Structure 1
Amino acid sequence: MSLYHLKQGFGLLLTGIVVNTLGYIVISIITPLAFITNIIGIVFLIFVVLGVFNALNQERTPLPIIGHLFENQFPFLD
């Protein structure tokens, strides 16, 4: 696994933490939107699976939607 995939995975982890935290705050205010957290969880699971397949195939393909944000981030991982 390369540093590229490590940065993609770390970025996905941080994004997942932030999005889930915000989602639970919204749910505590507007309860009927609880189904959205399930949809978001499924989307993040798909991103993880895509990332694992890219890493196994040694393809440097960014994750959909958010992957390009992490390509030049996290200099402490270099």
Structure 2
Amino acid sequence: MITQFCQDANIKPQIGHGQAIWPSGKYEDYHIHCFADPAAAKAFLDHFGGEMFDPKRDREGGKSAVSGVARANTNASSTLDL
């Protein structure tokens, strides 16, 4: 579904993996789609929903002791439910 959308829209995201650690200590894994073009990111978000993720803003100090881990805040939610 995501691959077909990206092919049809000629969008080429970089796909990574991330992990959120909630204040309760719960861990959640995510597939993260990164876009160089903000318009492509908006098209993807408009189609699939989700939340923007800015590594400089959404990781502790812009970096993490463990690559790909972000401390999630209580206002965040899962990015995409398939």
* TM-score, length basis structure 1: 0.25
Q: Higher RCO, 1 or 2 (CA under 8 Å, sep at least 6)?
A: 1
* TM-score, length basis structure 2: 0.24
